[in-house]
Structure 1
């Protein structure tokens, strides 16, 4: 029976400065040795990777396995969401937050491939915005502006690029006026940051929506109301431990559907650009089956 398991392996070859292609080859070898039939696929860009992923799911593969970071996972989500086809992850990116959520090793490709071989699954919620799904957190504030800047930078690589973009934006960033609709309840306020979490972290372990559960059918909405730039710099390291939740300007809400509007901000989720605000996000319970 084992030799009838057909796995699609979709790789972003540019993930982690070419790490994606290297780890994909190692994972493929291990999956084949375990008796799986592996169909390797490599898109030249995200659009082609998505076409390949959709085709693989339509062809009835037992699992769609993506090799890359959260951006590549996001491609996989669009193909498997609500289909019941499990998503497997071989982490090879910068942030790898979705892999963190389901306890997939970020350093050990053999351990990540072993999870695919074992075939155990979990069912998780996804968030949907404009017909696109995401698994992590929608950045819709200061963090999104920093992300937009980071995407224009070619140096340095990885997490440090986001840290530098954050510092650069801090010089001029001012609180923005927000209008939020949370399941029909309207909030109007000024804020530095609004984040809408399906899961608890983004950006490589920044636990902005600390406490978010991925199977409760709810989105976690975090608001950081106006604080000084010095205070923001002091609070930033606390995001890695989730201890920012005690800050007096921190606010937390739960909702099934969220609309967020503010001038001059482009929403980002799973490291991908979703588009300018206003945007509406809804929780889609049980939309993702993931190998975990």
Structure 2
């Protein structure tokens, strides 16, 4: 199911967009746009679809969505809370100028924006701190509005209390690591995950023995290399299941799996469902979206 392109409209008076929505307005179709989206949802319960992730959300959540990452929120039909709200902020990468966040003081915000390529969900503690700042953005005008948005982005950028939503394989992108060795391994993996990957070759790229490389990779990323490879393959599999007419068997083959049983097993480990049922759930969701629109 291909995401639809959504054009974000701006007032001529402002450099970024703010919209306060209530159900069913934020119950939108599966879509994407080149702008960053910062959204605070309150008083609602439902399901969030983002990249290759399908997760429940409850009452309150604060999420930063990177450019062109497909996403939508679907409120549960049983939720009838009239107080449910979605505070939505859209801004382009260069809304303050092409190189604004390249200044030394902007490095943390720049890193936050890079991480948002996979979608970021912030912790309840950060949500509580952010609520007031978001309300100020919606209530102020002129330059105070920009200062409040920068203050909010600064708060979020300095926090380590968040989780990434989608996986690197879905967007074929990754978060830059300071280590050239890791970058080379990431690049090699993204270019070669569709075929058998040999650990000897990967370790040679890092100029290490296999044992040393495995320790180094786990220390640098918090996961084993083969767990990382699995995420890349399965993330790409989700993209193919969503956007192509390939059979499930063909999808597995195109993602580097020579064994369908292994493909099904690993897919279920990550997504708690089979590739076939994952595609069927998307088709059902697409039917429901068509009815709503």
TM superposition score normalised by structure 2: 0.26
The structure whose residues are more often strand, as a share, is: 1
Please identify the structure whose Cα radius of gyration is greater: 2
The structure whose residues are more often helix, as a share, is: 2
Higher relative contact order (CA 8 A, sep 6+): 1
